[in-house]
Structure 1
Amino acid sequence: MEYIAELASGCLQTFQTVYRLYNQKLYAYTLKKTNSEYMAEEVVQLTFIRLWEKRNSLSAEYSISAQIFKMAGTILIDQLRKEAVSQRHLSVVETAQNQPEEQQLDIDLLEAAIEQIAPVRKKVFKLSKLEGYSYKEIAELLSISPKTVENHMSKALKQLRAAFSSIISLAIIMSAIIDR
């Protein structure tokens, strides 16, 4: 279809033309969906970066407009999910700062237990649980298979459960000693 062959061949002029044609439309679409100028600008920028990076895999079966808006939709979902994860973590941090000392100790213990996880496993765990990446995205980021990501997560969670199991057992013993 129009523009696709030229984009695939790396024609910068065609890319600039496509950018001029769809930049404002994409911005308006995203702004309407998010009510956030920042998010709309971010999605537009990331969409055109992805368009350039994926120019060789564009399909001649679909219009350039359909493909751009599909990319934008995917990027928008990713950005909203990351924003939601970020807000959740901010909420947890704010809540933790306002918690009694005992609950802060639990958070500190969790952070210490996470730090004891092997480096790659810890990175996989943080990307998944703290940053909200999917196993597939983590696999791509770290150049490993999704199954390897799954194995790392399984072992990380098992290690954390074991750490908390021993902490809880210790707390029960300490409580029994104090109550005597």
Structure 2
Amino acid sequence: MNHVADLASGCLQTFQTVYSLFNQKLYAYILKKTNSAYMAEEVVQLTFIRLWEKRETLSAEYNLSTQIFRIAGTILIDQLRKEAVSKKHLSVVEDDFALKTDTEQPEMLHALEQAIEQMAPVRKKVFKMSKVDGYSYKEIAEMLSISPKTVENHISQALKQLRAAFSSIISLAVIMEAIIKK
């Protein structure tokens, strides 16, 4: 059976067969590489989406498994890069908040509490579970029956909200300090 030609022609039954043949192998491979079930699931899902989207560009010269694993490798690299960038941004923001709350204690702490209270209820809960209670994204996702990606998005949005709140407070503090010095 020529899976590449059948896929290129848009045969859904062939796609389902290919999915059945490679789903578990690909999952095991990515899991071994990343040690993350979440990442393995994500990469496998994105790989088969891309395989279907790019089915017309598949090459009959190469083995289908080679092409599938090449797609998965590219997607894995993209996902790891996104995760690294996200973690870098989160740590910069967290370090920034830690420094500011340590140096300008009562006013900053009060402003932080107010900014957190203004968050949407679910975002506030996710943020507190992560930053106050110390739960991992995966633990929060399981407790709230949401995906780890949703948890990550809530944390990211919460940090953006806090950064926006703090930037206006800090701007006001700088202006007040300049006025006092005059």
**What's the C-alpha RMSD, in Å, of the aligned pairs?**
2.6
1:96 Cα deviation after fit: 1.3
Q: Percent identity?
A: 73
Alignment map for 1:42-121 (pairs within 5 Å)? 42-100=42-100
Instruction: Map Cα deviations across residues 15-60 of structure 1 (whole Å, 9 max, x no partner).
Output: 0000000000000000000000000000000000000000000001
Unpaired runs of at least 5, structure 2? 105-177
Three-state SS of the structure 2 residue aligned to 1:99 is helix
Unpaired runs of at least 5, structure 1? 105-173
Three-state SS of the structure 2 residue aligned to 1:60 is coil
User: Does the 8 Å contact 1:43/1:72 carry over to 2?
Assistant: yes
Tell me how far apart the structure 2 counterparts of residues 100 and 11 of structure 1 sit (CA, whole Å).
58
1:2 Cα deviation after fit: 2.8
1:99 Cα deviation after fit: 1.4
Structure 1 residue runs of 4+, over 6 Å off? none
| Match in the other structure for 2:29 | 29
Tell me how far apart the structure 1 counterparts of residues 83 and 4 of structure 2 sit (CA, whole Å).
32
1:72 Cα deviation after fit: 0.1
| Match in the other structure for 1:40 | 40
For 1:72, the aligned partner's letter is A
Tell me how far apart the structure 2 counterparts of residues 76 and 2 of structure 1 sit (CA, whole Å).
27
Tell me how far apart the structure 2 counterparts of residues 22 and 98 of structure 1 sit (CA, whole Å).
46
TM-score (norm 1): 0.56
1:92 Cα deviation after fit: 1.1
Tell me how far apart the structure 2 counterparts of residues 2 and 56 of structure 1 sit (CA, whole Å).
14
Tell me how far apart the structure 1 counterparts of residues 11 and 96 of structure 2 sit (CA, whole Å).
52
Instruction: Map Cα deviations across residues 145-174 of structure 1 (whole Å, 9 max, x no partner).
Output: xxxxxxxxxxxxxxxxxxxxxxxxxxxxx7
User: Does the 8 Å contact 1:47/1:68 carry over to 2?
Assistant: yes
Tell me how far apart the structure 2 counterparts of residues 45 and 32 of structure 1 sit (CA, whole Å).
16
Alignment map for 1:158-173 (pairs within 5 Å)? none
For 1:69, the aligned partner's letter is F
Matched residues, number: 111
Three-state SS of the structure 2 residue aligned to 1:52 is helix
Tell me how far apart the structure 1 counterparts of residues 15 and 6 of structure 2 sit (CA, whole Å).
8
| Match in the other structure for 2:19 | 19
1:93 Cα deviation after fit: 1.4
TM-score (norm 2): 0.55
Tell me how far apart the structure 1 counterparts of residues 94 and 40 of structure 2 sit (CA, whole Å).
27
